C-alpha cells in the first residue's frame, strides 16, 4: 500500500484520447501516458473529471483503467484509479476492479446525483475501502457532489477507513482555505491547484491532482521542488504565472462555455506535450485545433517559459 508520504506532488491526471468517432484511441493514450511516466511524475491517475469518468460506460472505464495500470506498471510509476459513481455499489465494483488490476490507490467523490445525508458518509467510505483492501484512498472533494465535508467528517473518514491519505480540495471546500488546509494537513495530505501552492503551501498543501504537469512537466516539477523546500518567494512568480494563464489565457475559452476536459486537452496540446486530438465527449464542448493555436500564441506572447518543455 502507498503511504501518506507517497501521495505528494503533482499526480498527472491525463485526459483520455478519443478518436474521430469518439471511441477510445488506445494508441494515442498509451503514447501520451508513457511520455508522462518518463518525466518522473510522482504518480498518474485517471477517471477524474479530466478523465471524463462521467462520459463513459463501465466497459470503457475498465479498458482505460487496464491500459493505465499496465503502462504505469511498465514504467514503475504509481497509479491511482478514479472510482466515482452515482451509487455505492458502482463505486465498490470499480474499487474491486482497480484492486484486481493492481492499482496502488483509488480516488472517489461522494455520489452526486442526490445530496448525501450526513449519516450516510462514513458507511459509504467503509463500503468502498472494504472492496479494495490494501489500496490507499484519496477523496475528490468538489461541490459538484453537492456537499462539502466538514473537518470532523474528514477526520471520521480517516479513522474508519485507516487508508485515507489525501484529499483533492476544490473551490468552496475547507482544504482551499488557509485554516482548513492547516487543520486537514494534520492528518491527510491536501492537494490544491498549483496556482495556490505559494499561498496554501505555508498552510500545509503538499500536492495536486494535476491538469498541468502533462502540459509542462519541467515547470510543474520545478514548482513542486520549491514547494517542498518552502521557498515561497521563489515559488510565487510561478504561481502568479499560472494564475495569469487561468484568468487571461483561458478567458476566451471560458466565454465559449468550455468545461474542464476541454481546457485540459487544450493546455497539453498548446505546449506540444500531448499528441492526442483535442476532442472531449458531449454533452460538453470540445476544444478545436484553432483553439490550440490561439492558446499557444497567447502563451508565446505572455508566458513563453511555459512553452519550454
Rounded CA-CA distance 69/81 in Å is 8
Say if residues 187 and 155 touch (Cβ distance below 8 Å).
Answer: yes
How far, CA to CA in Å, does 305 sit from each of 215, 218, 264? 12, 10, 19
Mean pLDDT value across residues 182-209: 98
Question: What share of the chain in percent tops pLDDT 70?
Answer: 100
Burial class (CB in 10 A: 0-12, 13-18, 19+), 89: exposed
112-160 residue pLDDT tens: 999 999 999 999 999 999 999 999 999 999 999 999 999 999 999 999 9
Say if residues 190 and 202 touch (Cβ distance below 8 Å).
Answer: no
pLDDT range class, residue 274, cuts 50, 70, 90: very high
For residue 1, pLDDT over 90 is answered with: no
Burial class (CB in 10 A: 0-12, 13-18, 19+), 231: middle
∠ Cα 255 33 281 (to 5°)? 40
Mean pLDDT value across residues 174-184: 98
What's the CATH code, domain 4-216? 3.20.20.70
Farthest-apart Cα atoms in the chain, separation: 52
The answer to whether the pTM exceeds 0.85 is: yes
Amino acid at each position: 500500500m502507498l503511504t501518506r508520504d507517497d501521495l505528494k506532488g503533482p499526480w498527472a491526471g491525463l485526459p483520455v484520447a478519443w478518436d474521430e468517432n469518439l471511441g477510445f484511441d488506445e494508441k494515442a493514450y498509451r503514447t501520451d501516458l508513457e511520455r508522462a511516466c518518463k518525466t518522473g511524475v510522482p504518480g498518474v491517475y485517471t477517471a477524474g473529471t479530466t478523465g471524463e469518468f462521467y462520459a463513459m460506460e463501465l466497459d470503457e472505464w475498465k479498458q482505460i483503467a487496464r491500459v493505465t495500470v499496465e503502462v504505469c506498471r511498465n514504467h514503475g510509476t504509481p497509479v491511482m484509479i478514479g472510482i466515482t459513481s452515482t451509487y455505492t455499489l458502482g463505486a465498490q465494483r470499480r474499487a474491486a476492479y482497480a484492486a484486481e488490476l493492481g492499482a496502488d490507490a483509488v480516488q472517489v467523490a461522494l455520489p452526486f446525483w442526490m445530496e448525501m445525508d450526513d449519516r450516510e458518509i462514513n458507511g459509504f467510505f467503509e463500503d468502498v475501502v472494504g472492496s479494495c483492501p490494501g489500496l490507499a484512498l484519496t477523496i475528490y472533494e468538489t461541490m459538484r457532489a453537492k456537499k462539502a465535508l466538514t473537518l470532523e467528517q474528514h477526520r471520521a473518514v480517516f479513522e474508519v477507513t485507516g487508508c485515507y491519505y489525501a484529499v483533492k480540495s476544490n473551490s468552496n471546500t475547507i482544504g482551499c482555505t488557509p485554516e482548513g488546509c492547516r487543520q486537514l494537513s494534520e492528518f491527510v495530505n491536501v492537494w490544491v491547484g498549483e496556482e495556490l501552492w505559494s499561498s496554501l503551501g505555508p498552510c500545509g498543501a503538499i500536492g495536486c491532482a494535476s491538469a498541468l504537469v502533462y502540459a509542462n512537466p519541467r515547470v510543474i516539477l520545478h514548482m513542486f521542488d520549491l514547494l517542498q523546500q518552502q521557498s515561497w518567494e521563489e515559488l510565487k512568480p510561478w504561481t502568479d504565472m499560472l494564475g495569469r494563464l487561468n484568468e487571461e489565457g483561458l478567458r476566451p475559452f471560458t466565454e465559449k462555455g468550455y468545461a474542464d476536459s476541454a481546457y485540459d486537452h487544450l493546455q497539453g496540446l498548446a505546449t506540444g506535450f500531448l499528441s492526442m486530438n483535442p476532442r472531449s465527449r458531449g454533452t460538453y464542448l470540445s476544444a478545436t485545433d484553432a483553439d490550440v493555436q490561439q492558446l499557444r500564441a497567447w502563451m508565446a506572447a505572455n508566458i513563453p517559459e511555459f512553452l519550454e518543455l
